[in-house]
Structure 1
Amino acid sequence: MVGIWNGGKTRHQDYFPQKPFEKLSQAEKDTINAQLKRVGRTEGCFQPQSDNYLKFIVKELKPYIDKRYSVYTNRENTFIAGSSMGGLISIYALCEYPKIFGGAACLSTHWVGSFTTENNPFPNSMIRYLNKKLPNPKNHKVYFDCGNQTLDAMYPEIQKRIDSIMVKKGFNSHSWITKYFPGENHSEKAWSKRLGIPLEFLLSSTPQP
């Protein structure tokens, strides 16, 4: 298991799915930029760098790990996981590199991208992206979850829309789980209590048709 340290000030840029953002109109990008400025997540013009971040993982970090340590290198034994924005970049990584990653665990996925659901065009763009780019459910596994307190309160309704896409794209109980945790908030303490669930799911037998 490899923990990748985040970039601090660049964390939001690194983890924000780039292609769904670039599909937004300029006015919609300006809206996201203003929303992120209000909470101090960007100072200038917000521009995601997640495509470069994923290239770092796939082209530099994974080859280093594969060469230096005794690990299985194939897709069936390679997974990516994270919480909040880390959950968002994890599902993006699975969609962008389906030949590298066999599954993704996305805890309290920050579907809103910014920090409000009001006048926020990003969730719809992300949903359209997933509708086109989700990988084959026969050889990929996906775990989602969320609570309903603090930041997590924004996620359940969007997650239900994501869940409908998972069904539409052929994911079933062998290849996909979404769990809801009423009363749980957006914190490391909350995620640590349930981390075992996605780990057991991803590391169990491979998806079945």
Structure 2
Amino acid sequence: MNFSTASANVHLLNNDFFMPQLHRYRRIWIYLPLEYPYTDKRYPVLYMQDGQNLFDATTSSFGEWGIDKTLNKLQSEGNQGIIVVGIDNGGEHRTNEYAPWARPKLGGGEGLHYAQFIAHTLKPYIDEHFRTQTEREFTGIGGSSMGGLISFYTGLHYPEIFSKLAILSPSFWFNRQIFEWVAKQPKKFEMQICMVGSRTESSTMERDITNMYWTLRNSGYREQELIFEIRNRGKHNEKFWGKEFSFIYKELFAKHG
């Protein structure tokens, strides 16, 4: 028998949350700061992809990030914490939902509808039912691999909603249109984009992250808005992303409030 490894302040919000833009249902998790039940504070929110891999080893096929353990430790050291909303990937629908543009035989193309779900359905629900800081300055989105691709796309598609992007090992290779799309997107708001990858996880990761940095800079984003890091070592897996989550969290939320 497998026992959950999720912390007590991780809750299953809904096993079958309806996604009207995609006509599907999805499991949603929510992590609440340790002091949430004992205060009337409002908190920043980070929306994360691949929810089954974030908190609980028993729901992940590849190991968990341990986000709840990381955040609980930081709060014990004095950090105020954030709310994290984990959205399960759709299994067979994952590639379709996480890729903005379709590729023959590989899938994709439902990314815009998925982004609309987060922006127009899920976020309003979370803001209504939990004590969130609803403004864009306190709202982030993140993920890894294909989850990094769709999080990056969603954040830049809805900059009036999201100001903080937590992007790990993004699969820009799957939709190379993302570079041209970013180049044509006029910058409307100040952003905080933190992107991390490793030289050893793929032959294209360093090049793609570097190219995206300069694409954003050429589109008007200031150096202070972009925290891009390429590690010398690290595999394309949950262990690497979980290890880097603390760094990304501190850059996006602890430093800037």
Same fold judged by TM-score > 0.5?
A: yes
1:197 partnered with 2:234: no
- The structure carrying a bigger strand percent of its residues is 2
Residue 47 of structure 1 deviates from its aligned partner by 4.5
**Aligned residue in 1 for 2:104:** 33
* Paired letter, 1:3: G
- Is the CA contact (8 Å cut-off) linking 2:97 and 2:108 kept in structure 1? no
- The structure carrying a bigger helix percent of its residues is 1
1:129 partnered with 2:181: yes
- Is the CA contact (8 Å cut-off) linking 1:147 and 1:153 kept in structure 2? no
Q: Deviations over 1:49-86 (max 9, x none)?
A: 11111111111111110000011111000100100011
* Paired letter, 2:110: Q
How far apart in 1 are the matches of 2:108 and 2:210?
A: 28
Q: Deviations over 1:148-189 (max 9, x none)?
A: 224x33211122211111222233342111100112110000
**Aligned residue in 2 for 1:58:** 119
Which of 190, 195, 198 in structure 2 is aligned with 1:144? 195
**Aligned residue in 2 for 1:93:** 154
Greater RCO, 1 or 2 (C-alpha within 8 Å, sep 6+): 1
The alignment of Structure 1 onto Structure 2 pairs a total of residues equal to 173
RMSD (Å), alpha carbons: 1.7
Q: Deviations over 1:14-33 (max 9, x none)?
A: 01023xx5xxxxxxxxxx42
**Aligned residue in 2 for 1:158:** 208
Query: TM-score of the superposition, structure 2-length normalised?
Result: 0.63
**Aligned residue in 2 for 1:39:** none
The percentage of counterpart residues that share the same residue type is 29
Query: TM-score of the superposition, structure 1-length normalised?
Result: 0.77
Residue 10 of structure 1 deviates from its aligned partner by 0.3
* Paired letter, 2:199: N
- Is the CA contact (8 Å cut-off) linking 1:78 and 1:103 kept in structure 2? yes
How far apart in 1 are the matches of 2:138 and 2:205?
A: 29
* Paired letter, 1:146: G
